[in-house]
Structure formats: structure tokens, C-alpha cells
Amino acid sequence: MCSAIALVPSVFPKHLFEEHDLFTRVFDRGGNNPEVRFAFTDPVPLLPVMIGGVLKLVQWGSRSRQGPLPTTGWTWRTSVESGAWAGLGCETEPVLILATYGCEKNTWFRIREGIHGLLVTPPSGPPCAYMICDHPTRYFRVLTVGADRTPWLVNEVI
Amino acid sequence: MRFVAHLDADCYYVSADRVRYPDLIGKPVGVVGNQGACVIAKSYELKAQGVKTGEPVWDVLKKCPETIFVKRDFRWYEVLSRRMLAMVRERSEAAEFYSIDEFFFSTDADKQIARGIQNDILNNIGLPVTIGVARSRTLAKLFSDTAKPLGIRVVTDPDEEREHLAKLPVGEVSGIGHRRAAKLLLHGIRTCLDYANAERRLIRGLLTKTGEDLWWELRGQPVTPIRPDRPTHKFLSRGGSIGGASADPNVIRAWLVRNSERLVEELEHYDLKAGTLSLSLSDQYGGGDSINAPLPGHTNRYGPIIAALLRSFERCWQPGTVITHMHLVAGDLKRPGFVQRTLFDPPDDETEPLAVVKRDVNERHGRFAVRGGTTLFIPEMYRDRSHGYEICDVRGKFCF
């Protein structure tokens, strides 16, 4: 799994910083090289995704028990590929979640390109993005001390 | 007069990753090894938190929770290493590819030459390196180790040399580990200068010829020359961890096939045939067994090699024994034209055309595109391409 991601601030256009008050999410772990963090546990959980070639911030999964959406931030790759989401009656679209670093079980790791995501638009309400997960490799399980899921990374396996 | 220079890249794997991921600059970074458990390289930011190379990830996190872990990528590290080597060879008539991040080369005592190489590498590749120049390679390595990071230390005057040696513990000498240092301590030898001043016979008696060679080198007398080319291997080996403990014979055999295929690749690359072969298995308790795998004659063909290894495996492995590591070692290596034929040599290998096809397909479509079916029991090793290239696959270097 991946419970938080971080990105270099330079990828965000200025208006996104202001619209979503990203300044509160800026963190510097050293080197005067700050990053913007997004965690599922944030009061407003967001994910940076590329939609139609444009970077947008959308809601990370769903916490609402009302409506058709599952109350989680992740989905299995097998669920997506088997068409399980088609039965929800929502529009779905594969998206790229931009991420420079990912975090699982308090372990941060470098991500090359990003993570596969699923953008789901319910009939009423704003779209939200689910992070697509896969079964972890032994390497990832050891690195994260027992994670039972790994983010489905773009052109990369950890 | 020509001197020996030792070039050592500063926290190489981390620096190499920072070349392609500049966002890592200034952050605590740990490069994780083959199993995902231990840090094989650390940034200076992590070192400042007390993290040591070889520490498990979970211990690193206790010291520095903000550490960013990067998965090792030896293909990338080799690319940058060879670019560094090419730059050194442009400036020196003799350069030795000692390890992926260390080279020896001949040079003048002029600090500007070393500075030029250092700047070239930093500006053109983005890697910080430290260079030591001295009368012998052992001295040059000692001095570069004390000048890190991004330093240059040229010490060619014997008096200045002795001043430096007096400050360095003898354990700092490459080739003198903890046990040898403890042995030397019993004779009052604490510093490198003590070692250089000791009686030659005493050193020879304590540490054999290897110790005596170091003794000469510490006195400024080069024993080992700079070797621009690696001499022919005496042994070739492949193996290591089998990716977690296992008592499943299918998994262990799969690793046997994987390691055999890698060993055959090496034999073919160096155009060598093995006369002897041995198999070592280590169990979960640190014990294990090593057994010869008799070959029908000198060979570099997969068929007879895997057949010999499988026979030996059945002899030395007891069902239920949990295996953690495996090593295959090929010895008595000879070039094809130098193998003595006997009256009882087996006929020419009928599988030779198959081996040629396998090699061609793998060259075109990627390593292990065609491989033994037995390896289907370890699919994870082939799902991730990074497992297909390890530090021992970087050819031409002297040291691991």
C-alpha cells in the first residue's frame, strides 16, 4: 500500500497552491529541497493526478458511507482489470498519480514516474481518485516490514 | 617521477542516484541492497545520524525516520562508473578499474592534475570524488580515505608521509581487518607508522606475505603495480542469498538453475572452461555443506554443468533442511585451446545449437528472456528486471 506520497513543489502551478492551500502541506526534510505531502489521513485527503495532460488535485478515495463509492483510498489491480468497478454505475478513467516519494508503514521510498490510479466520477458529486495496488514483492514486504500491498508503480517494481 | 593516485567516489551509490534524481540532494538517503533489508550505501546526512552501512532498514528508521530509501540499480551505477573511468583514462596512461567506485592511476605529484580530474567528473557527470596521491597504492588509498568528501591529498614527501601514518590506526589499512589488527596490537603495533617501522620478519611471521607486501607499500615501496587490464580469473562464482529461507526443493533447484545460467554466462563471456565445480549450501543456523560437483571434463556448457550440480545437490541436501544461501564456484579455468583432451572425453555436446539460440535470443530480447523452466518456481526474481543485474555482473573490476 502507500498511505502518503510527496512531490517536489515545482510541479504545481501557482493557482493550485492557492486554491488548495498547499503551503500547509510543504515539508522540508533537508537540503533546502522542500516537498509537498499528501496523506490519506489528512483532514482533506487529496491526490495529484494528471487528467487530460493537466495536473489536478482530486479527492483521495472516499470516506462517505453514503453513495456508491467504496470507503477506501485504494483498489486492487485485479479489481480494476476484472471490471469490478463497472458495476458501480460511475464513470471510471485510468490516471497517473504523480509522486516523487511514497510512504508505507513509515518507510519513505523513491518513485521514478508515478503510480497508477483510477479516477471515479459518481453521478452526483465530485470525482475522486483511488490508488491502484498490487501484491507486494518480497523486496517491498521486507523494506516496509510487512506491507500486504504495494502501489502499482509506472514502469517500475520495488 | 610517477606516483600512484587513488580515486574514490564519495558515497557512490547515493551520489549516482542523486545524478538522476536531484531532488534527493541534501536529504537523508539510504540505498537498499538486494534483499530490501539492509542499507548498502548512505548519504552523509544519514551518516550524521549514526547510521552505518549494512544496517537494517528498521534500525535506520529509528535513527532517522525521514530517510528516503532507494532501490539499488547496478546498471545505472555501472554506466556512471565507466564514464568516470573513461575520464581518468583520458588523463593517465595507466588506470586500474579496482571496483565500481574506486580506481588507481599513475600521475605526477602535481595537485592540479588531480584537481582537474575531480572537477571534470563533478562538472560533467555530477559525482563528487576524492583523490589521494602517494608513492604506493596502499598509501594513496589511506590518504584518499582521510580526505573525504570531495578532497585531494597529495603526500609524496617521506617525512610528511610518516606524520600522517602516525595518526592513523593500523586497522585503517585496506587488508588489515579487526582480527589482524588485534594480532598486531599484541606486539605493540597500533598505528600505521608502528607497522611501517616494525621488523619485516615479525610482520611476515604474523601476517604472511600479504602482510609483508603491505609493509613494503606503507614504506613507500610499490609492490602491486597498476593493472590496466584484469588478468584471467582463477575462479568464477555465482550465488548469494536465495531470497529468503526455503526448504522447498523446487525453489532451491530453481535457484540452482538460475545461478548455473549466470555462471555459464560468465564462462562464455571470458571464453573459459571449468575443470572443477563446487556447490555450497548454507542453512538457517549458519551451518552448511560444500561439495564437489564432478564434471566429465573441462566445459562451459550448461547441460553438463547443471547435471553435475543437480547430482551433487541430491547428495548434500537433506529434505526439510532450510537453505538461505547458495554458491557455485568454477575452478581450474582454461581457455578452449588449452584443454588437454583425453581418450575418454564425452562426444561433442548435442545441445550446443540450443545454447547458441538461447544466447542470441537473450542478447536481443533481454537477459533471462529464455531460461530454464525450473526457474518458474521463483517468478519474482524475473518479474523485476533489477534482480537481473548485480554488482558481480559489472565486469572487468578487480574487487567486489
Q: What is the CATH number of domain B10-73?
A: 3.40.1170.60
Query: What is the average pLDDT value for chain A, to the nearest integer?
Result: 93
Per-residue pLDDT band at A65 (split at 50, 70, 90): confident
Give residue-wise pLDDT tens across range B308-359: 999 999 998 999 999 999 999 999 999 988 888 777 776 766 667 888 899 9
- Partner residue facing A107 (CB), from B35, B57, B385: B57
Give residue-wise pLDDT tens across range B350-364: 667 888 899 999 999
C-alpha A103/C-alpha A107 separation (Å) is 5
Residues carrying CATH 3.30.70.270, chain B: 3-8+77-218
C-alpha A62/C-alpha B213 separation (Å) is 69
Residue A6 contacts residue A101 (beta carbons within 8 Å): yes
Which strands make up the sheet holding B236-246, listed edge to edge?
Answer: B236-246, B323-331, B276-283, B288-292
Are A107 and B69 inside 8 Å of each other by CB?
yes
For B391, which DSSP code? Answer: G
Instruction: Please report the beta strands in chain B, taking only residues with DSSP state E, as ranges in sequence order.
Output: 3-9, 29-32, 39-42, 68-71, 95-99, 102-107, 129-134, 152-154, 236-246, 276-283, 288-292, 323-331
- Given a cut of 80, is residue B91 above it in pLDDT? yes
Which strands make up the sheet holding B95-99, listed edge to edge?
Answer: B95-99, B102-107, B3-9, B129-134, B152-154
- Please tell me the predicted confidence (pLDDT) of residue A51: 94
C-alpha A29/C-alpha B26 separation (Å) is 9
Residues carrying CATH 3.30.1490.100, chain B: 236-393
ipTM of this complex:
0.94
The percent of residues in chain B predicted with pLDDT above 90, rounded, is 82
Are A142 and B45 inside 8 Å of each other by CB?
no
Contacts of A136 (CB under 8 A, 6+ apart): A144, A147, A148, A149, A150
Nearest CA in chain B to A33: B23
Alpha-helix runs per DSSP H in B219-271: 249-269
CA distance B245 to chain A (A): 12
- Partner residue facing A33 (CB), from B27, B58, B71: B27
- Please tell me the predicted confidence (pLDDT) of residue B34: 86
Torsional class of B320: left (φ above 0), alpha (ψ -120 to 50), beta (otherwise): left
Cell, residue B41:
550505501
- Partner residue facing A145 (CB), from B24, B28, B58: B58
Name the CATH superfamily, with its identifier, for domain B236-393.
DNA polymerase, Y-family, little finger domain (3.30.1490.100)
C-alpha B122/C-alpha B204 separation (Å) is 42
Nearest CA in chain A to B38: A143
Nearest CA in chain B to A140: B36
- Partner residue facing A31 (CB), from B27, B32, B380: B27
- Please tell me the predicted confidence (pLDDT) of residue B349: 65
- Please tell me the predicted confidence (pLDDT) of residue B323: 95
Nearest CA in chain A to B245: A138
Q: How many CB pairs under 8 A join A and B?
A: 73
Give residue-wise pLDDT tens across range B142-197: 999 999 999 999 999 999 999 999 999 999 999 898 999 999 999 999 999 999 99
Question: With the C-alpha atoms ordered B214, B215, B218, B223, is the resulting torsion angle positive or negative?
Answer: negative
Give residue-wise pLDDT tens across range B235-284: 999 999 998 899 999 999 999 999 999 999 999 999 999 999 999 999 98
What average pLDDT does the segment B13-31 reach? 96
Q: Determine contact: A110 vs chain B, CB below 8 A.
A: yes
- Partner residue facing B26 (CB), from A31, A106, A141: A31
Q: How far is CA B109 from CA B105, B106, B148, B153, B155, in A?
A: 12, 10, 19, 10, 8
Nearest CA in chain B to A101: B68
pTM of this structure: 0.91
Distance of CA A118 to the CA centre of its chain: 9
For testing the chain B interface, which of A28, A98, A138, A150 should be mutated: the one with the most B CBs within 10 Å?
A138
Amino acid at A119: L
Per-residue pLDDT band at B388 (split at 50, 70, 90): confident
- Please tell me the predicted confidence (pLDDT) of residue B400: 73
Match domain B3-8+77-218 to its CATH number in 3.30.70.270, 3.40.190.10, 3.40.1390.30, 3.40.640.10. 3.30.70.270
Give residue-wise pLDDT tens across range A79-125: 999 999 988 889 999 999 999 999 999 999 999 999 999 999 998 88
- Please tell me the predicted confidence (pLDDT) of residue A143: 94
C-alpha B33/C-alpha B112 separation (Å) is 37
- Please tell me the predicted confidence (pLDDT) of residue B381: 87
Contacts 24+ apart (CB under 8 A), B53-57: B57/A107, B57/A142, B57/A143, B57/A145, B57/B30, B57/B32
Query: What is the average pLDDT value for chain B, to the nearest integer?
Result: 93
- Please tell me the predicted confidence (pLDDT) of residue B351: 67
Q: Determine contact: A89 vs chain B, CB below 8 A.
A: no
C-alpha A140/C-alpha B386 separation (Å) is 13
CA distance B383 to chain A (A): 8
- Given a cut of 80, is residue A1 above it in pLDDT? no
- Please tell me the predicted confidence (pLDDT) of residue B350: 65
Q: Determine contact: A134 vs chain B, CB below 8 A.
A: no
